[in-house]
Amino acid sequence: MNQTLQLPTNSMLDFSGALPLLRLLHPRRYTRAVWFSFLLALGFAYAAMTLLGWPKWAATAVVLVTMLPVGILKWREDYRAYGATVTLLCVLLISQGAHTVEHLVQFVQYHLFYWTMRQSNGLLSPANAEWVHFVWNWGVLLCVLFLMRGGMRNWWMYLLLIVAAFHTVEHTYTWVRYQLILAELRGMHIFNITAQGLPGIIGRDGFLARSEWTQGTFLCRIPYLTTAVRLDVHFWWNALEMALLIPAGHFFLKQMDRTADPQLRG
pLDDT tens-digit profile of 146-175? Answer: 999 999 999 999 999 999 999 999 999 999
Determine the Cα–Cα distance for residues 72 and 165; give it in Å rounded to an integer.
28
185 and 117 in a common domain:
yes
pLDDT for the residue 223: 85
Burial 81-90 (b: 16+ CB within 10 A, else e): bbbebbbbbb
The structure's pTM equals: 0.88
- Residue 224 DSSP label: T
Confidence of residue 16 (pLDDT cuts 50, 70, 90): low
Own/partner long-range contacts of 258-263 (Cβ < 8 Å, ≥24 apart): 259/3, 259/5, 259/7, 260/7, 260/11, 260/13
Determine the Cα–Cα distance for residues 55 and 170; give it in Å rounded to an integer.
30
For the chain, the distance separating the N- and C-terminal CA atoms, rounded to the nearest angstrom, is: 27
Determine the Cα–Cα distance for residues 157 and 252; give it in Å rounded to an integer.
9
145 and 110 in a common domain:
yes
pLDDT digits (tens, 9 = 90+) for 205-242: 899 998 888 888 888 888 889 999 999 999 999 999 99
90 and 75 in a common domain:
no
236 and 125 in a common domain:
yes
Range of the domain at 187: 84-265
